[in-house]
Structure 1
């Protein structure tokens, strides 16, 4: 694990891409967010940044997949 990934709306993802984050996915629905989240788990990303709005929509999925694990670190941004 050694990377950072972003899941969110176009504005959020664009900002992080400008900052140098290469692993980023624009999502509009909870289903798209789940697919992106699982993809980053499979790639062993160490930090997943996700917009708070989208994290709230897939909260149960995140908790089921991560549980009490320390990594990846999930950072929710407003």
Structure 2
């Protein structure tokens, strides 16, 4: 199974290509939907990497694929600008999950 990157910037794609991961750069909603459909249809792709920006800007498209399909696995990764999450996102996630302040 291969990994495939759908990125919003060329720098992330270049870095992933150096690691042997092929991919594409898209910027528009329709481009994202089209590339996701192509990647999902390709049975050689087991993991689709998406930059976090797509999860924030187009959650309906990303969640639709995540919820309706077992494969490929979709993972959101930070891009070269870093993550859009708060520095303590793991701690706050645990606090919400168990109801205790750590």
> Which residue number in structure 1 is paired with residue 70 of structure 2?
70
Q: How many residues align?
A: 76
Instruction: Provide the TM-score with structure 1 as the length reference.
Output: 0.83
Structure showing greater Rg = 2
Instruction: Detail structure 1 runs of 4+ shifted over 4 Å in the superposition.
Output: none
1:25 aligns with 2:19: no
**Mapping of residues 1-78 of structure 1, within 5 Å:** 2-8=1-7, 9-22=9-22, 24-44=23-43, 45-67=45-67, 69-78=69-78
Which stretches in structure 2 are left out of the alignment for 5+ residues? 79-102
- RMSD, aligned CA: 1.6
Instruction: Provide TM-score, normalisation by structure 2.
Output: 0.66
Q: CA deviation at 1:68?
A: 5.4
Question: What displacement does 1:62 show?
Answer: 2.3
Cα offsets for 1:37-59 (capped at 9, x unmatched): 11100112210000000222222
* 3-state secondary structure, aligned to 1:62: helix
Using CA pairs under 8 Å that are at least 6 residues apart, name the structure with larger relative contact order, 1 or 2.
1
